[in-house]
């Protein structure tokens, strides 16, 4: 699964921004957001579809961690990870 050369990976802060922009009453179109963040419409759709997990994960991360770029995925042992975190 390779990304297009002109696209970049989103960090957690950018994912959160996209969700908050799409949640507003007069939300910008997904096409406008694709140009703003230089990503595909599919990426915008994926962020929107996974918004609950992203918002939950974002609440647990520090501001410094939110600025780092890493892939967003759900692990196989989320209950165990949550227990270890607590």
What is the CATH number for 18? 1.10.10
In the prediction, which pLDDT does 44 show? 92
Do the domain assignments include residue 30? yes
Do the domain assignments include residue 33? yes
Q: Is the pLDDT score of 51 beyond 60? A: yes
* Of 76 and 34, more confident: 34
Do the domain assignments include residue 5? no
Do the domain assignments include residue 21? yes
In the prediction, which pLDDT does 23 show? 93
In whole angstroms, give the CA distance from residue 75 to residue 79. 9
In whole angstroms, give the CA distance from residue 41 to residue 45. 6
Q: Where is 59: in which H helix or E strand?
A: helix 51-60
pTM above 0.75, yes or no: no
In the prediction, which pLDDT does 17 show? 92
Q: Which domain holds residue 16?
A: 12-70
Count structural domains, the chain: 1
Q: What is the mean pLDDT of the chain?
A: 82
Q: What is the mean pLDDT of residues 35-54?
A: 91
């Amino acid at each position: 699964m390779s990304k297009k050369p002109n696209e970049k990976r989103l960090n957690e802060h950018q994912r959160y921004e996209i969700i908050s922009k799409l949640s507003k009453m007069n939300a910008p179109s997904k096409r406008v957001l694709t140009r703003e963040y230089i990503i595909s419409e599919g990426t915008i759709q994926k962020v929107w579809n996974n918004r609950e997990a992203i918002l939950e994960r974002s609440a647990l991360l520090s501001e410094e961690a939110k600025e780092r770029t890493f892939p967003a995925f759900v692990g196989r042992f989320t209950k165990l990870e949550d227990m270890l975190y607590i």
